[in-house]
Amino acid sequence: MTTEKKEIPKKVSTQAIQLERLLDMQFKARLILGGCTMEVDDILALGQGAVLELDTPITEPIQIWVNDRLIAKAETVVVNERFGAKIVEIASKEERLKDMADVS
């Protein structure tokens, strides 16, 4: 019986270290309900109680962006008196990992 150690190929060990570092990183997520275009006069006229009409129909899912990449779509929900999002469509794990690894 030999006690020979097997060498891990350098490429594999480097990838494992990079993946481990990536898994420990934190990213901010943005949930986008919709958008609107406004003229400067309209922006300056905004006040308390003003209502902005967004371009997204109420039946459309909101968008979830991480690292400036669209990764999912969701329905809005209420969780403990706070807004939440229930995922209805999501990119594969491979696509999400690739997008997050592309930190610019």
Domain CATH number, residue 44:
2.30.330.10
Q: Would residue 4 count as lying in a domain?
A: no
Q: Would residue 7 count as lying in a domain?
A: no
Instruction: Give the model confidence (pLDDT) of 4-27 as tens digits.
Output: 555 555 555 676 666 677 677 788
Name the residue with higher pLDDT: 46 or 98.
46
Q: CA neighbours within 13 Å on the CB side: how many for 101?
A: 13
Count up the domains in the chain and report the number.
1
pLDDT bin (cut points 50, 70, 90) of residue 81 is very high
For position 35, what pLDDT does the model report? Answer: 93
Q: What's the longest Cα–Cα distance across the chain?
A: 83
Name the residue with higher pLDDT: 87 or 5.
87
Q: Would residue 68 count as lying in a domain?
A: yes
Domain region containing 46? 27-101
For position 27, what pLDDT does the model report? Answer: 83
Q: Would residue 52 count as lying in a domain?
A: yes
Which amino acid, residue 12? V
Instruction: Give the model confidence (pLDDT) of 88-103 as tens digits.
Output: 999 888 888 776 666 5
